[in-house]
Protein backbone atom coordinates (compact mmCIF):
# COMPACT_ATOMS: atom_id res chain seq x y z
CA UNK A 1 0.00 0.00 0.00
CA UNK A 2 0.94 3.64 -0.23
CA UNK A 3 -0.03 4.08 3.43
CA UNK A 4 -2.37 2.64 6.04
CA UNK A 5 -5.59 0.98 4.79
CA UNK A 6 -8.06 3.76 4.03
CA UNK A 7 -11.23 4.34 1.97
CA UNK A 8 -9.24 4.68 -1.27
CA UNK A 9 -8.34 0.98 -0.90
CA UNK A 10 -11.92 -0.17 -0.36
CA UNK A 11 -12.09 -2.24 -3.57
CA UNK A 12 -8.96 -4.15 -2.64
CA UNK A 13 -10.33 -5.13 0.75
CA UNK A 14 -13.72 -6.02 -0.71
CA UNK A 15 -12.03 -8.33 -3.24
CA UNK A 16 -9.99 -9.93 -0.45
CA UNK A 17 -13.05 -10.40 1.76
CA UNK A 18 -15.00 -12.05 -1.05
CA UNK A 19 -12.15 -14.46 -1.84
CA UNK A 20 -11.99 -13.04 -5.37
CA UNK A 21 -8.21 -13.21 -5.63
CA UNK A 22 -8.18 -16.86 -4.50
CA UNK A 23 -10.81 -17.63 -7.12
CA UNK A 24 -8.51 -16.06 -9.71
CA UNK A 25 -5.65 -18.31 -8.58
CA UNK A 26 -3.81 -15.52 -6.79
CA UNK A 27 -2.30 -15.57 -3.29
CA UNK A 28 -2.40 -11.91 -2.29
CA UNK A 29 -0.67 -10.44 0.77
CA UNK A 30 -1.06 -6.75 1.66
CA UNK A 31 1.85 -4.89 3.26
CA UNK A 32 1.52 -1.53 5.01
CA UNK A 33 4.70 0.53 4.56
CA UNK A 34 6.57 2.02 7.49
CA UNK A 35 7.18 5.08 5.29
CA UNK A 36 5.00 6.17 2.34
CA UNK A 37 8.17 7.05 0.43
CA UNK A 38 9.32 3.41 0.24
CA UNK A 39 6.75 1.36 -1.77
CA UNK A 40 8.19 2.18 -5.20
CA UNK A 41 11.71 1.51 -3.95
CA UNK A 42 10.60 -1.87 -2.58
CA UNK A 43 8.93 -2.62 -5.91
CA UNK A 44 12.00 -1.76 -7.97
CA UNK A 45 14.18 -3.85 -5.63
CA UNK A 46 11.95 -6.89 -6.08
CA UNK A 47 10.78 -6.90 -2.44
CA UNK A 48 7.11 -6.62 -3.47
CA UNK A 49 5.35 -7.52 -6.73
CA UNK A 50 3.07 -4.47 -6.96
CA UNK A 51 2.80 -1.12 -5.21
CA UNK A 52 0.08 1.49 -4.82
CA UNK A 53 1.43 5.00 -5.27
CA UNK A 54 0.64 8.35 -6.91
CA UNK A 55 1.06 9.55 -10.49
CA UNK A 56 3.65 12.24 -9.61
CA UNK A 57 5.62 9.74 -7.51
CA UNK A 58 5.76 7.37 -10.50
CA UNK A 59 7.25 10.17 -12.63
CA UNK A 60 9.78 11.07 -9.93
CA UNK A 61 10.84 7.45 -9.48
CA UNK A 62 11.24 6.91 -13.22
CA UNK A 63 13.28 10.11 -13.41
CA UNK A 64 15.70 8.45 -10.97
CA UNK A 65 15.91 5.41 -13.22
CA UNK A 66 13.55 3.04 -11.43
CA UNK A 67 12.19 0.54 -14.01
CA UNK A 68 8.51 0.85 -13.13
CA UNK A 69 5.23 1.91 -14.74
CA UNK A 70 1.62 2.43 -13.67
CA UNK A 71 -0.75 -0.32 -14.84
CA UNK A 72 -4.09 0.95 -13.48
CA UNK A 73 -5.63 4.01 -11.84
CA UNK A 74 -7.49 3.40 -8.58
CA UNK A 75 -8.58 7.03 -8.19
CA UNK A 76 -9.26 8.81 -11.47
CA UNK A 77 -8.85 12.43 -10.39
CA UNK A 78 -6.84 14.52 -7.91
CA UNK A 79 -7.83 14.23 -4.27
CA UNK A 80 -5.29 16.88 -3.28
CA UNK A 81 -7.15 20.14 -2.70
CA UNK A 82 -6.98 23.57 -1.13
CA UNK A 83 -9.04 23.19 2.03
CA UNK A 84 -9.96 25.94 4.49
CA UNK A 85 -12.43 26.59 7.27
CA UNK A 86 -15.48 28.55 6.16
CA UNK A 87 -14.61 31.45 8.46
CA UNK A 88 -11.54 32.17 6.31
CA UNK A 89 -13.77 32.96 3.29
CA UNK A 90 -11.39 31.36 0.78
CA UNK A 91 -13.58 30.18 -2.08
CA UNK A 92 -11.29 31.10 -4.98
CA UNK A 93 -7.57 31.02 -5.67
CA UNK A 94 -7.52 34.84 -5.87
CA UNK A 95 -8.51 34.96 -2.20
CA UNK A 96 -5.20 33.33 -1.22
CA UNK A 97 -3.53 36.74 -1.54
CA UNK A 98 -2.14 37.72 1.86
CA UNK A 99 -2.90 34.31 3.36
CA UNK A 100 -0.78 31.59 4.99
CA UNK A 101 -1.00 28.22 3.25
CA UNK A 102 0.18 25.01 4.87
CA UNK A 103 1.40 21.94 3.01
CA UNK A 104 3.36 18.76 3.69
CA UNK A 105 6.63 20.09 2.26
CA UNK A 106 6.35 18.01 -0.93
CA UNK A 107 8.10 19.76 -3.86
CA UNK A 108 5.34 19.14 -6.38
CA UNK A 109 2.76 20.54 -3.99
CA UNK A 110 4.86 23.71 -3.82
CA UNK A 111 4.77 23.75 -7.63
CA UNK A 112 0.98 23.28 -7.52
CA UNK A 113 0.69 26.38 -5.37
CA UNK A 114 2.94 28.42 -7.67
CA UNK A 115 0.92 27.32 -10.70
CA UNK A 116 -2.38 28.16 -9.00
CA UNK A 117 -1.19 31.59 -7.87
CA UNK A 118 0.20 32.43 -11.29
CA UNK A 119 -3.06 31.56 -13.01
CA UNK A 120 -5.04 33.58 -10.45
CA UNK A 121 -2.75 36.60 -10.84
CA UNK A 122 -1.66 36.45 -7.20
CA UNK A 123 1.98 37.43 -6.50
CA UNK A 124 3.67 34.41 -4.84
CA UNK A 125 5.41 36.84 -2.48
CA UNK A 126 2.00 37.77 -1.05
CA UNK A 127 1.35 34.20 0.14
CA UNK A 128 3.23 32.61 3.03
CA UNK A 129 3.83 28.87 2.55
CA UNK A 130 4.36 26.78 5.71
CA UNK A 131 5.39 23.13 5.97
CA UNK A 132 3.00 21.58 8.52
CA UNK A 133 3.90 17.97 7.72
CA UNK A 134 0.98 15.59 8.19
CA UNK A 135 -0.77 17.92 10.67
CA UNK A 136 -3.06 19.49 8.06
CA UNK A 137 -6.27 19.42 10.09
CA UNK A 138 -4.57 20.56 13.29
CA UNK A 139 -2.90 23.47 11.50
CA UNK A 140 -6.26 24.68 10.23
CA UNK A 141 -8.09 24.25 13.53
CA UNK A 142 -5.35 26.03 15.49
CA UNK A 143 -5.30 28.97 13.11
CA UNK A 144 -1.63 28.40 12.28
CA UNK A 145 -2.59 28.50 8.60
CA UNK A 146 -5.51 29.96 6.68
CA UNK A 147 -5.70 27.03 4.28
CA UNK A 148 -3.86 23.85 3.39
CA UNK A 149 -2.80 22.50 0.02
CA UNK A 150 -2.52 18.74 0.34
CA UNK A 151 -5.62 17.94 2.34
CA UNK A 152 -7.95 15.56 0.49
CA UNK A 153 -11.52 16.54 -0.37
CA UNK A 154 -12.59 12.97 0.47
CA UNK A 155 -10.81 12.71 3.84
CA UNK A 156 -9.73 15.83 5.74
CA UNK A 157 -12.53 18.00 4.36
CA UNK A 158 -15.10 15.39 5.43
CA UNK A 159 -13.39 14.95 8.79
CA UNK A 160 -13.75 18.66 9.48
CA UNK A 161 -17.41 18.64 8.43
CA UNK A 162 -18.09 15.74 10.77
CA UNK A 163 -16.57 17.88 13.52
CA UNK A 164 -19.25 20.45 12.78
CA UNK A 165 -17.01 22.89 10.93
CA UNK A 166 -17.90 24.69 7.73
CA UNK A 167 -15.35 23.92 5.03
CA UNK A 168 -14.41 25.37 1.67
CA UNK A 169 -12.72 23.15 -0.90
CA UNK A 170 -10.95 24.25 -4.08
CA UNK A 171 -10.07 21.35 -6.42
CA UNK A 172 -6.56 21.89 -7.76
CA UNK A 173 -7.41 20.66 -11.27
CA UNK A 174 -10.00 23.47 -11.51
CA UNK A 175 -7.48 26.23 -10.79
CA UNK A 176 -4.53 25.48 -13.04
CA UNK A 177 -2.95 22.17 -12.02
CA UNK A 178 -3.07 19.62 -14.87
CA UNK A 179 -5.50 16.79 -14.23
CA UNK A 180 -3.92 13.54 -13.02
CA UNK A 181 -4.72 10.16 -11.46
CA UNK A 182 -4.26 10.48 -7.70
CA UNK A 183 -3.77 6.82 -6.82
CA UNK A 184 -2.29 4.21 -9.16
CA UNK A 185 -1.15 0.59 -9.20
CA UNK A 186 2.50 0.19 -10.21
CA UNK A 187 4.52 -2.77 -11.52
CA UNK A 188 8.05 -3.41 -12.77
CA UNK A 189 8.41 -2.81 -16.51
CA UNK A 190 10.11 -6.19 -17.00
CA UNK A 191 7.10 -7.95 -15.48
CA UNK A 192 4.70 -6.01 -17.71
CA UNK A 193 6.65 -7.16 -20.77
CA UNK A 194 7.09 -10.80 -19.68
CA UNK A 195 4.90 -13.83 -19.07
CA UNK A 196 4.29 -12.39 -15.61
CA UNK A 197 1.93 -9.95 -17.31
CA UNK A 198 -0.74 -12.66 -17.31
CA UNK A 199 -0.61 -12.77 -13.50
CA UNK A 200 -0.69 -8.97 -13.34
CA UNK A 201 -3.67 -8.92 -15.71
CA UNK A 202 -5.59 -11.31 -13.43
CA UNK A 203 -4.77 -9.17 -10.41
CA UNK A 204 -5.80 -5.90 -12.06
CA UNK A 205 -9.07 -7.22 -13.40
CA UNK A 206 -9.95 -8.91 -10.09
CA UNK A 207 -9.19 -5.66 -8.29
CA UNK A 208 -11.46 -3.84 -10.71
CA UNK A 209 -14.26 -6.26 -9.89
CA UNK A 210 -13.64 -5.48 -6.21
CA UNK A 211 -14.37 -1.81 -6.90
CA UNK A 212 -17.42 -2.79 -8.96
CA UNK A 213 -18.66 -4.78 -5.94
CA UNK A 214 -18.26 -1.67 -3.79
CA UNK A 215 -20.28 0.36 -6.29
CA UNK A 216 -23.05 -2.25 -6.03
CA UNK A 217 -22.94 -2.38 -2.22
CA UNK A 218 -20.88 0.43 -0.62
CA UNK A 219 -21.84 -0.64 2.90
CA UNK A 220 -20.36 -4.12 2.44
CA UNK A 221 -17.20 -2.55 1.05
CA UNK A 222 -16.80 -0.29 4.06
CA UNK A 223 -17.42 -3.23 6.40
CA UNK A 224 -14.58 -5.16 4.76
CA UNK A 225 -12.27 -2.16 5.03
CA UNK A 226 -13.06 -1.42 8.68
CA UNK A 227 -12.60 -5.09 9.57
CA UNK A 228 -9.10 -4.91 8.07
CA UNK A 229 -8.31 -1.64 9.86
CA UNK A 230 -10.45 -1.36 13.03
CA UNK A 231 -8.79 1.95 13.85
CA UNK A 232 -10.73 3.63 11.05
CA UNK A 233 -13.78 5.67 11.89
CA UNK A 234 -16.66 3.76 10.30
CA UNK A 235 -18.64 7.00 10.02
CA UNK A 236 -15.82 8.76 8.17
CA UNK A 237 -15.14 5.69 6.01
CA UNK A 238 -18.79 5.53 4.89
CA UNK A 239 -18.79 9.25 4.02
CA UNK A 240 -15.44 9.02 2.25
CA UNK A 241 -16.36 6.00 0.13
CA UNK A 242 -19.67 7.61 -0.82
CA UNK A 243 -17.87 10.81 -1.84
CA UNK A 244 -15.16 8.99 -3.79
CA UNK A 245 -17.26 6.34 -5.52
CA UNK A 246 -17.51 8.16 -8.85
CA UNK A 247 -13.76 8.84 -8.86
CA UNK A 248 -13.01 5.11 -8.78
CA UNK A 249 -14.37 4.73 -12.31
CA UNK A 250 -13.40 6.34 -15.62
CA UNK A 251 -15.81 8.18 -17.86
CA UNK A 252 -16.71 7.37 -21.44
CA UNK A 253 -17.17 3.63 -21.10
CA UNK A 254 -13.48 2.94 -20.55
CA UNK A 255 -12.56 -0.13 -18.45
CA UNK A 256 -11.85 0.18 -14.73
CA UNK A 257 -8.30 1.40 -14.18
CA UNK A 258 -8.11 3.45 -17.40
CA UNK A 259 -5.30 6.02 -17.52
CA UNK A 260 -5.72 8.66 -20.27
CA UNK A 261 -2.39 8.70 -22.17
CA UNK A 262 -2.73 12.34 -23.26
CA UNK A 263 -3.52 13.39 -19.69
CA UNK A 264 -0.44 11.58 -18.38
CA UNK A 265 1.71 13.20 -21.09
CA UNK A 266 0.41 16.68 -20.23
CA UNK A 267 1.04 16.18 -16.52
CA UNK A 268 4.55 14.90 -17.27
CA UNK A 269 5.26 17.96 -19.40
CA UNK A 270 4.11 20.16 -16.51
CA UNK A 271 6.56 18.34 -14.20
CA UNK A 272 9.35 18.87 -16.73
CA UNK A 273 8.49 22.56 -17.10
CA UNK A 274 8.64 23.02 -13.32
CA UNK A 275 11.96 21.15 -13.08
CA UNK A 276 10.46 18.48 -10.85
CA UNK A 277 11.87 15.88 -13.24
CA UNK A 278 14.75 16.28 -15.66
CA UNK A 279 14.28 13.55 -18.26
CA UNK A 280 11.55 13.22 -20.89
CA UNK A 281 12.05 9.44 -20.69
CA UNK A 282 10.43 9.57 -17.25
CA UNK A 283 7.16 10.52 -18.95
CA UNK A 284 7.18 8.28 -22.02
CA UNK A 285 5.94 4.86 -21.01
CA UNK A 286 5.06 5.89 -17.46
CA UNK A 287 1.65 4.23 -17.81
CA UNK A 288 0.08 1.41 -19.78
CA UNK A 289 -3.52 0.28 -20.18
CA UNK A 290 -2.62 -3.06 -21.77
CA UNK A 291 -3.55 -5.12 -18.69
CA UNK A 292 -7.06 -3.70 -18.33
CA UNK A 293 -10.21 -5.57 -19.35
CA UNK A 294 -10.57 -5.66 -23.14
CA UNK A 295 -7.16 -4.07 -23.70
CA UNK A 296 -3.82 -5.40 -24.89
CA UNK A 297 -3.04 -8.49 -26.97
- Tens digits of per-residue pLDDT, 220-236? 999 999 999 999 999 99
Share of the chain above pLDDT 90, in %: 96
Q: What is the pLDDT of residue 36?
A: 81
Task: List the end-to-end C-alpha distance of the chain, in Å, as a whole number.
Answer: 28
What is the 3-class SS of the chain, one letter each residue? CCCCCCHHHHHHHHHHHCCHHHHCCCCCCCCCCCCCCCHHHHHHCCCCCCEEECHHHHHHHHHCCCCEEEEEEEECCCCEEEEEEHHHCCCCHHHHCCCEEEECCCHHHHHHHHHHHHHHCCCHHHCEEEECCCCHHHHHHHCCCCEEEEEECCCHHHHHHHCCCCEEEEEHHHCCCCCCCCEEEEEEHHHHHCCCHHHHHHHHHHHHHHHHHHHHCHHHHHHHHHHHCCCCCHHHHHHHHHHHHHHHCCCCCCCCCCCCHHHHHHHHHHHHHCCCCCCHHHCCCCECCCCCCCCCC
Over 90: is that where the pLDDT of 37 sits? no
pTM, entire model: 0.96
Split at pLDDT 50, 70, 90, the class of 296 is confident
Q: What is the pLDDT of residue 167?
A: 98
Share of the chain above pLDDT 70, in %: 100
Q: What is the mean pLDDT of residues 28-47?
A: 94
Over 80: is that where the pLDDT of 297 sits? no
Split at pLDDT 50, 70, 90, the class of 141 is very high
Q: What is the pLDDT of residue 73?
A: 98
Q: What is the pLDDT of residue 109?
A: 96
Rounded distance, CA 179 to CA 182, Å?
9
The pLDDT tens digits for 83-106 are 999 999 999 999 999 999 999 999
Split at pLDDT 50, 70, 90, the class of 195 is confident
Q: What is the pLDDT of residue 35?
A: 86
Amino acid sequence: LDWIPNPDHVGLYRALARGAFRSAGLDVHVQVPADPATPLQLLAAGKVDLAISYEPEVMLARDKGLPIASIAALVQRPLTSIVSLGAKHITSAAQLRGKTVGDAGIPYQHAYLQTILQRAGVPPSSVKEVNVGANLVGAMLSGRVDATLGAYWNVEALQLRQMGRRVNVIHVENVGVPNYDELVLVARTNDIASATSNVLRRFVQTLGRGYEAVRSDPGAGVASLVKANPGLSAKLAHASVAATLAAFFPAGGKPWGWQPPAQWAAYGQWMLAHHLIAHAAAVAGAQTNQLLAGQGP
